[in-house]
Structure 1
Amino acid sequence: MAPIGSLYTVDAQSKGKMIRSVVALAGQEVELLPFEFGVTNKSSEFLSKFPLGKIPAYQHANGFKLYEGNAIARYLAGLYPNTGLLGGTPEEAALVDQWMHVVETEADTYDTWISFLVRGLVPYNKPIELNFYERLERCLAVLESHISTRTFFVGERITLADLSVASVLSKAVAQTVDASRRPKYPNLMRHLDTIANQPKLKAVFGQVNYIDKAIQYTPPAKEKKEKAPAPPKAEKKPKKEEEEEEEEPAVPAEPKVKNPLDDLPKSTFNLEDWKRAYSNKDTRGADGAIEWFYQNFDSTGFSVWRVDFKYNEELTLTFMSSNQITGYFNRLEASRKYLFGSVGVLGENNNSIISGTLILRGQDAEPVVNVAPDWESYEYKKLDLSKEEDKQFFEAALAWDLEVSGKKWADGKNFK
């Protein structure tokens, strides 16, 4: 049997497993192409077909190309209507879409982000991990309640909803839904077992890995410091000599390291006054903060910059992106006296960017922002406020009504 098309995916990807399940239930085969993150999806050949560089990515035998897991699964299910995977009525089709969306945006998203946190792929934060577990378990509780009186999620036979739920759960029970959590969801576990053991799906799901203990964050090992050799014992001195030397310090104080930014020529612009004006005045208006800025700004001592996150394709939920800005600002703490920032998330969940403006000491951004370990994850462009385009960007970022490429301001943070 000739494959109906070719698919880029990886074993751990729940969406890839769902797509392969559709193909298996249709009695067809799909060619699985070799894929390596950061290599395959950066190649010109891959990007010419799938410009966002995302997987799963599918090319049909007739040349039709498609990416995004749910879209691929629906397309393939539509080619084989006898499978009944899309539901038998408009109501069932809507319910299939509903459960696919729920499990993707809730269960799969939070299971994935917990994995990113504990594996160190993003900066670890215990409260955020606990919050993600709460959201994951809230979704699982809803799924558990629904399936408790049913064999399948929609109707009396397997649909895409079941394949989506089971594919995500098979990943979750292998990393976050451990032995202590699984007893809360007996019907979900029964459903997973039912789907994974369908004769046509056994080869897709394989042996489901039920872990005993959820993956845990392990702090990086601290480097061992070599012990300094013990100082030689001082010879016993006459009492009178000891009294004479008592006032001298035993160890000279280390000189304070001076920040090179402090050596820049004095500026008439007071950054602290600006921060107070921005905090206490309306942003726009005749007596607003922006007008105050233009009246007092000294371009010889300070400069204005646009800052953009370089990896917007990795952003998912907007509140997570907002937390990322907070983390970036926290890591800039050592430059607080030299810097002001207004940066926001623009767009919506799974389609957003991070952008904003910085006001900083001097004419070069790097000496101010390089105190943050992740400063190179952002692109910095100096703004010329005599140019209308740069001026409008700057003012909109301050006023939190910035719009870039149709993406509107969703949430913002200030560094003051």
Structure 2
Amino acid sequence: MAPRLTGFSGNSRLRRVRAAAALAGVELEWDSSFSMKSEWKTEEFIAKNPFGFLPTLELEDGTVLRESGAIAEYVAELGANSTLVPSDAKAKAEVHEWQCTADQELFIPGSLANRQLMGVLPYNKPNFDGIVKKVNERLAVIDSILVNKTFLVGERITLADIFTVTALTQIFSTIIDAEARVKIPNVIRYFETLVNHPKLLDIFNPTNLIEKVTPPAAPAKEQKPKADKPKEAKAPKPKKEKEVDEEEEEPLVPAEPKVKNPLDDLPKSAFNLEEWKRQYSNLDTRGANGSLEWFYEKFDREGFSIWRVDFKYNEELTQVFMSSNQVGGFFNRLEASRKYLFGSVGVLGKANDSIISGAVVLRGQDIEPVINVAPDWESYSYKKLDVFNNEDDKKFFEGSMAWDLIVDGKEWADGKNFK
């Protein structure tokens, strides 16, 4: 009989155990319909697990394991060929080190801050901002560590990665929004590699990343009843320059002055990039009345340009899904240029024999002001395309848009759009 896992699917701690089992190749009995509203806290359950915590794992001999870390380690070591827990003592200690970091520095603080947003704990802005600031500082450190690493310990996924990506899933969907995530490109690349692993897709997706943190509204102030008495003439109060809400807090860091993007000073263009994005999303790419037909009819050659994009270091590419995640990470780091840019870039070929290539449409005639917002923009080469006068350029562009591009015999395997 397979060990029986109890917990509900949205719970981050349960995800750890399921991820460990999936990667270790261990079968668990688990009821996916279970929820916190289920009648689970029975006398029988408390007798087996006096603390009453979830998740639990019940073994064939009746033993009930609690605490997701202990359960995940047990499950990981059940796998015949599992490397989730290294055999080397030093590497095993490093994995435990990251398990603690994920819990103490990301997961637990994130949970406390999120409880304030949910109203489970009273919302206190200085306290909330302080927690988020500390979490962002920890993420910056992790980002610097991941500059030259695919995984945290060694060259394969370990429990260090499972605990960390579970914590990231939780904080990215609650307190670390899109603006903050742009600052940690290596963490995002690492995160996307793990959550899109074929064995983990069903466990971590959809990730539901939050776009903007919205603090809870301040409670309305109680109005005192007015006494019925004659109105007295009052001297006019001196006019204040600004009414300050008692709940308003001074920013911890002075706001940075907004810098106008020079692209906004370009002559106005009749080509609407946002409308192109909608046409591309809603129409067939090729054929009559397709999005490409619309593009050629509306495109403004003076106000916009089209570029080929190629990764410079294709010899470093291994698995197709990892290369696709790399493209996704590159696009994430281009967030600041979203209003000026559209892209369709893919992985062509197969595992250990692939390239990254595609095309982008952007505001202006120079690619650098648009693309250099991504820290890794110089890892790619760029060539301007003339799709109206050069048949090869047109064929390349249309293949990139339609996701049927072939380069040197390598066929399109996977791709991403930036829109």
TM-score by length of 2: 0.51
Deviation at 1:205, TM superposition (A): 1.0
Residue type of the alignment partner of 2:51: L
Aligned partner of 2:30 among 26, 29, 32: 32
Q: Retained in 2: the 8 A contact 1:87–1:155?
A: no
- The residue that corresponds to 1:116 in the other structure is 115
Offset at 1:117? 1.3
CA positional deviation for 1:26: 2.4
Deviation at 1:223, TM superposition (A): 6.3
Whether the 8 Å contact between 2:24 and 2:78 is mirrored in structure 1 is: no
Q: In the alignment, which residue of structure 1 is the partner of 2:134?
A: 135
Shift of residue 14, structure 1, vs aligned partner: 1.7
Q: Distance in 2 between matches of 1:88 and 1:211?
A: 38
Give 2:13's aligned residue: 15
Question: 1:96-245 residue pairs with structure 2 within 5 A?
Answer: 96-221=95-220
Residues 115, 215 of structure 1: 8 Å contact kept: no
User: Structure 2 vs 1, CA of residues 91 and 121 (structure 1 numbering), >3 Å: closer, same or farther?
Assistant: same
Structure 1 residue 35 displacement after superposition: 4.6
SS class of match (2:148): coil
| Deviation at residue 42 of structure 1 after TM alignment | 3.6
The alignment partner of 2:73 has SS state of helix
Change (3 A) 1:224 1:81: farther
Matches within 5 A, 1:328-367: none
Paired amino acid for 1:28: V
Instruction: State the distance in 2 between where 1:93 and 1:40 align.
Output: 38
Cα deviation digits, residues 79-136 of structure 1 (max 9, x gap):
1151200024111111110001111111001110001112221122212112211221
Note if contact 1:59-1:65 (Cα within 8 Å) is conserved in structure 2: yes
Q: Residues 9, 223 of structure 1: CA spacing in aligned structure 2 closer, same or farther, 3 A cutoff?
A: farther
Residue 181 of structure 1 and its aligned partner are, at CA, apart by 0.4
Report the Cα offset of residue 24 of structure 1. 1.1
Aligned partners of 1:6, 1:221: CA distance in 2, in Å? 48
Unaligned runs of 5+ in 1: 234-416
Q: CA deviation at 1:214?
A: 1.7
1:44 and 2:51 are equivalent in the alignment? no
Alpha-carbon shift at residue 207 of structure 1 (Å): 1.9
CA distances 1:169-205 after superposition (whole Å, capped 9, x unpaired): 1111111110110012111111111111111111111
| Per-residue deviation, 1:51 | 0.8
Q: 1:199 to 1:39 in 2, by over 3 A?
A: closer
Residue 93 of structure 2 is matched in structure 1 by 94
Farther off after superposition, 132-141 or 64-73: 132-141
1:283-326, Cα deviation, whole Å (9 max, x unpaired): xxxxxxxxxxxxxxxxxxxxxxxxxxxxxxxxxxxxxxxxxxxx
> Which amino acid counterpart does residue 16 of structure 2 have in structure 1?
M
- Partner Cα separation in structure 2 for residue 151 and residue 130 of structure 1: 31
What is the alpha-carbon distance in structure 2 between the residues aligned to residue 11 and residue 165 of structure 1? 18
Aligned to 1:66, the other structure's residue is in SS state strand
Alpha-carbon distance change, 72 to 170 in structure 1, aligned in 2, over 3 angstroms = same
What SS is found at the alignment partner of 2:216? coil
Q: Please, what is the CA RMSD of the aligned residues?
A: 2.5
Counterpart CA distance in 2 for 1:232 and 1:147 is 72
Give 1:9 shift: 2.0
Question: Offset at 1:165?
Answer: 0.8
* Structure-1 separation of matches of 2:144 and 2:130: 21
Aligned sequence identity (%): 33
Partner Cα separation in structure 2 for residue 147 and residue 119 of structure 1: 32
SS of 2:115's equivalent in the other structure is helix
Deviation by residue 1:117-157 (Cα, 9 ceiling, x = unmatched): 12221122212112211221222122212222100000010
Q: Output the CA distance in 2 between the equivalents of 1:150 and 1:125.
A: 37
Aligned partner of 2:23: which letter? L
Q: Is the 8 A contact 1:100 1:161 kept in 2?
A: yes
Partner SS for 1:7 = strand
Unmatched runs of 5 consecutive residues or more in structure 2: 232-419
Separation (CA, whole Å) in 2 of partners of 1:58 and 1:220 = 42
Q: Identify the residue that residue 402 of structure 2 maps to in structure 1.
A: none
Shift of 1:230: 6.6
- In 2, distance between residues paired with 1:135 and 1:11? 28
The structural deviation recorded for 1:218 is: 2.2
CA distance in 2, matches of 1:40, 1:89: 43
* DSSP-derived class of the 2:58 partner: strand
TM-score, normalised on structure 1?
Answer: 0.51
